Amino acid sequence: MTGLEHRLLAGAYARLPTDFYAPQVPTPLPQPYLIAFNPDLGEQLGLPAAPGPRDIDTLCGNHVPARVRPLAAVYAGHQFGVYVPQLGDGRALLLGDIIDADGNRHELQLKGAGRTPFSRGADGRAVLRSTIREYLASEALHGLGIPSTRALAIVGSDQPVYRERIETAAVLARLAPSHVRFGSFEYFHYQGRDAQVRALADFVIDGHFPAFTGHQDRHARLLDAVVERTAHLVAAWQAQGFVHGVMNTDNMSILGLTLDYGPYGFLDHFEAVRVFNHTDRHGRYAYANQGRIALWNLHALAQALSSLIDAPRREAALERFEPLFVGAYGALMRRKLGLRQPQAEDAELVDSLLHALQDGRADYPAFLRRLGAFRPHDADTRRPLLALSRTPQAIDAWLDAYSARLSRETDSAEARQADMDAANPLYVLRTHLAERAIRLATDQQQYDEIERLRQLLARPFSPQPGAEAYAEPPPADAGDIVLSCSS
Ligand code: AMP
Ligand code: MG
């Protein structure tokens, strides 16, 4: 099997004119060592099960194969609703492309590979803590079947990096078919560079939506596709209790992938207004706002494409968002509740459940997973659900309504439970679990817990022997953790 060094190709993105990026070589990482390697993704890419020294050097940017031309892409974006005319890869480099076993092309990015022309005075590095968070979350979302950039490896170093305190540097190797963002289009649009907007849209269409290539209305179809993918993406986040935390337009993928993990979190107890990002004082990126914000961001994208698509057609594309989002979320929640025959009142049943969970601070993933074992006529199956709530009578009342609703289903309880178990993860990347893996890595140089979690999260629906504790809600004294944006 050939190592990464021999598999990397010059990136397709590098064939665009240099309006779109700055050529940039990585800054060497002193005395690198491997912290994590994702063997599942490695296998899909046809890489050896463990990277050799040369590949470790490639994964952190210390070795750049002769064929590739690393670059930092330029983009802009609306951050917390405010337009910032120039952002760009300030600490990520697109090293090159790699073709996987199925013939699909992926961009390989190194995040934390040093300064670029877009670093804006910052150091171009990532700290080990944040690379572990991104590594685990990418694989957790992928394990849940939610589109995401993927994480291949983390390479660490003892090099100090200054954040709120001194930490150490690491490079995350991540992959995606494309890292183009809504903000990539905004950058050119707001400078009036319509030819570049068109060139970038055609580049994305040719590479990722080839069915639209050559069509007169291809740009409108691209917008339709992004609306649809984004609606499905955010509906899936909502259903699985994921909060991205910083849905700025520069963090929104044109392919509808979860992109740029920072102060994200998964809900433990259900709380609609839960905010994980401690700089988000007004809750713009709170859990329950994510659908609205996705639409706001799509409006920003549509505006950036206004030289290519006329206003009525843009409006028509955007109008599809809400029905798509509501429909996708409803379908996912029905699956989670084991309701196979859709009924008009199902949305109401979901809504009343969320209220009951919120009132009693009940754990969202544990409740839904346990609900699969609920049998309307067996009081013993009610207890583990009531035990999760501080207001069990509200849950009790909801279970009565749910029982009535189940009586209109025709499948056996066992078939329903199997369905529900495939929709409600047993293992979730809860903040306290991620924090423990991070502490072991940063304080004790023990990296096994990262791989342990990755394995559980890669198959989150299947019980794994010895992992019972990972399926439990956080200990009562864990408290609500808010996360720093600095990474
Ligand atoms: P984020 O909020 O992580 O998506 O980053 C927003 C912008 O800040 C992007 O343009 C990043 O490239 C840039 N950035 C974040 N951290 C750093 C860093 N340590 N060094 C240079 N640029 C950074
Ligand atoms: Mg970003």
Q: The tokens of 319 are what?
A: 């109008």
With the most atoms of ligand 1 within 8 angstroms of its CB, the residue from 89, 119, 174, 258 to mutate is: 119
Residue 283 near residue 233 (C-beta atoms within 8 A): no
Query: Considering every ligand atom, which ligand is closest to the CA of 118?
Result: 1
pLDDT tens digit sequence for 188-246: 999 999 999 999 999 999 999 999 999 999 999 999 999 999 999 999 999 999 999 99
Q: Cβ distance 385 to 354 under 8 Å?
A: no
Q: Is 363 in the pocket of ligand 1 (CB under 6 A)?
A: no
What Å distances lie between residue 111 and 13, 93, 126, CA to CA? 17, 7, 7
Q: Say yes or no: CB of residue 245 within 6 Å of ligand 1.
A: no
What are the b/e assignments for 176-188, b being 16+ CB within 10 Å? bbbbbbbbbbbbb
* Ligand 1 atom nearest 125 alpha carbon: 19
Cβ of 112 less than 6 Å from ligand 1:
no
Query: 181 CA to middle of ligand 2, Å?
Result: 9
Asked if residue 256 has its Cβ within 6 Å of ligand 1, the reply is: no
Active site (annotated) includes residue 250: yes
- Pick from 120, 258, 260, 483 the residue to mutate for probing ligand 1's pocket: most ligand atoms within 8 Å of its CB: 120
The DSSP H or E segment spanning 438 is helix 431-444
From the number of C-beta atoms within 10 Å of its C-beta (0-12, 13-18, 19+), residue 402 rates as: buried
Nearest CA to ligand 1 atom 7: 87
Q: How confident is the model at residue 477 (pLDDT cuts 50, 70, 90)?
A: confident
- b/e per residue, 87-113, with b = 16+ CB within 10 A? bbbbbbbbbbbbebeeeeebbbbbbbb
Residue 175 per-residue DSSP state: E
pLDDT digits (tens, 9 = 90+) for 240-264: 999 999 999 999 999 999 999 999 9
- Which of 21, 118, 486 for a ligand 1 pocket mutation test, highest count of atoms within 8 Å of Cβ? 118
What pLDDT does residue 37 have?
A: 98
- Contact (Cβ atoms closer than 8 angstroms) between residue 318 and residue 227: yes
pLDDT tens, residue by residue, 337-361:
999 999 999 999 999 999 999 999 9
Q: Is the pLDDT of residue 42 over 80?
A: yes
- Give the Cα separation of 127 and 350 in Å (integer): 40
Tell me the average pLDDT across 135-148.
Answer: 98
Q: How confident is the model at residue 476 (pLDDT cuts 50, 70, 90)?
A: confident
Average pLDDT in the 52-65 region?
A: 97
Q: Which residues surround ligand 2, an ion (CB under 5 A)?
A: 251, 260
In the set 57, 250, 260, 363, the catalytic residue is 250
d(CA 255, CA 215): 19
Name the burial class of residue 195, with classes exposed (0-12), middle (13-18) and buried (19+) by CB atoms within 10 angstroms of its CB: exposed
Which of 429, 423, 398 has its CA nearest to residue 137? 429
Does 207 sit in the ligand 1 pocket, CB within 6 Å?
no
Q: Residue 253's pLDDT is what? A: 99
The pTM assigned to this predicted structure is 0.97
Tell me the mean pLDDT in the region 480-484: 73
∠ Cα 468 473 474 (to 5°): 110
For residues 385 and 339, is the Cβ–Cβ distance under 8 A?
no
Q: What is the distance in A from the centroid of ligand 1 to the CA of 91?
A: 6
Can you give the pLDDT at residue 486?
77
Token pair for residue 123?
A: 């150091």
Residue 142: pLDDT band by 50, 70, 90 thresholds? very high
Largest separation between any pair of C-alpha atoms in the chain: 68
CA trace torsion 108, 145, 428, 415 (10° rounding) = -160
The dihedral formed by the CA atoms of 240, 293, 194 and 95, expressed in degrees to the nearest 10: -40
Q: Is 129 in the pocket of ligand 1 (CB under 6 A)?
A: no
What pLDDT is recorded for position 487?
80
Q: What tens digit of pLDDT does each residue of 385-442 get?
A: 999 999 999 999 999 999 999 999 999 999 999 999 999 999 999 999 999 999 999 9
The rounded Å distance from CA 427 to ligand 1 centre is: 30
Among all bound ligands, the one having the nearest atom to the CA of 91 is: 1
Q: Distance, CA 138 to ligand 2 centroid (Å)?
A: 14
Sort strands 77-79 and 166-176 into parallel, antiparallel or unpaired. Answer: unpaired
Q: From ligand 1's centre to the CA of 217, what distance in Å?
A: 35
Q: In this structure, what token pair is assigned to residue 225?
A: 């596709």
Give the pLDDT score at 1. Answer: 60
Ligand 1, atom 15: nearest CA belongs to which residue? 90
